[in-house]
């Protein structure tokens, strides 16, 4: 089986696309709260981004 090449072109293209299409929201929370949030997300099998996205959508639809 041929060996896969390691290139940064694909990564660079993905980064450019993500920077063009998405924005970042950053928040500082108490470490205990973040740890509980991460644990619950893992337990529930849901991504952290999905929870934040749904909260933002619910807020905008009020």
pLDDT at residue 61 in the model: 97
Residues 6+ apart with CB under 8 A from 25: 52, 56
Only one residue has tokens 């694909």, namely 10
Torsion of CA 13, 16, 18, 21, to 10 degrees: -120
Work out the angle at residue 40's Cα, subtended by the Cα atoms of residues 38 and 45, and round it to the nearest 5 degrees. 95
Q: Per-residue pLDDT tens for 27-46?
A: 999 999 999 999 999 999 99
pLDDT tier at 59, thresholds 50, 70, 90: very high
Taking the domains of the chain in order of start, what are their residue ranges? 27-62
pLDDT at residue 5 in the model: 67
Q: Taking Cα atoms as reference points, which of 20, 21, 19, 29 lies closest to residue 52?
A: 29
pLDDT at residue 6 in the model: 67
């Amino acid at each position: 089986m041929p060996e896969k090449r390691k290139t940064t072109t694909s990564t660079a293209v993905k980064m450019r696309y993500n920077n063009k299409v998405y924005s970042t929201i950053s928040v500082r929370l108490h470490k205990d709260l973040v740890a509980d949030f991460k644990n619950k997300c893992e337990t529930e099998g849901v991504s952290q981004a999905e929870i934040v996205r749904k909260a933002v959508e619910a807020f905008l639809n009020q």
